[in-house]
Amino acid sequence: MDEIEMARIGGGTIVLTDARRGARWSVDLEPFEIGVFAVTEEQMADLLGIAAAEPRRPATQASWLRAIRFCNAASEWEGLDPAYGFDGEEVTWHVDSDGYRLPTEAEWEFACRAGSTAAQYGPLAEVAWSNLDGVTAAQEVGGKLPNLNGLFDTLGNVWEWCFDLLDPDGDGSRVFRGGGFADDAWSVRASTRRGAAPRTTHADVGFRLARGGFDADGAAQVWSAAAER
């Protein structure tokens, strides 16, 4: 399989905002790793046998559940302990696992911002595929400038699934972040939160991997097993 390039992100603090609920909360993060690029069609083809029409483009039309299964497949490929357990469509995160997983949204935003407090970490035309470019599909990964963490396309090109629920009191929708190729500057921002049901697929939603295990106390990087239940 094509190598999964990961970047090491040091610990720190991030403030998250949910404008729809009027909520704002601070998260202290331990160090973790996150993918330099979104998972590509080629990588999905290698591990899950899904045809790759455009090998270097992000793997879109992948539901949250399929992204979770890819994480476990990538872990098994590299001899790591899988991060997730399944009971039908019920997913359990083994937070002490060293295997691949989806980032929490706190990890995602912290890695995306790379120290920036602005809506975007650079001029939108230079760092993100958006409606400014007039493209009609996701573009190959790495075509714009990276952020200061060396991550490509965290803004624009495709939205990216995170592990978290969009609303702990909601309908089970999962968060995706970052904006897509057809979105404008209001959506292609580090703080924008959207989400969908875990079985749904979208032409502008993909995902990138994370790694990092934590004490198995039911909470990790602000995600909470108790809140999930």
pLDDT at 139: 98
Domain 6-228, second-level architecture: Alpha-Beta Complex (3.90)
Question: CA torsion angle for 149, 52, 176, 85 (degrees, to 10)?
Answer: -100
Per-residue pLDDT, averaged over 30-49, amounts to 95
Per-residue pLDDT, averaged over 80-88, amounts to 93
List Cβ<8 Å contacts ≥24 apart for 89-96.
89/65, 89/198, 89/199, 91/65, 93/163, 93/220, 93/223, 93/225, 94/216, 95/213, 95/214, 95/215, 95/216, 95/217, 95/218, 95/219, 95/220, 95/223, 95/225, 96/213, 96/214, 96/215, 96/216
pLDDT at 129: 98
- pLDDT surpasses 80 at 216: no
| Calpha distance 218→212 (Å, rounded) | 15
Task: Delimit the domains of the chain by residue range.
Answer: 6-228
| Calpha distance 162→164 (Å, rounded) | 6
- pLDDT surpasses 70 at 12: yes
pLDDT at 218: 52
- pLDDT surpasses 70 at 224: no
- pLDDT surpasses 60 at 42: yes
pLDDT at 170: 83
- pLDDT surpasses 80 at 229: no
Tell me the pLDDT of the chain averaged across its residues: 92
- Quick one: pLDDT band at residue 50, thresholds 50, 70, 90? confident
Per-residue pLDDT, averaged over 153-180, amounts to 94
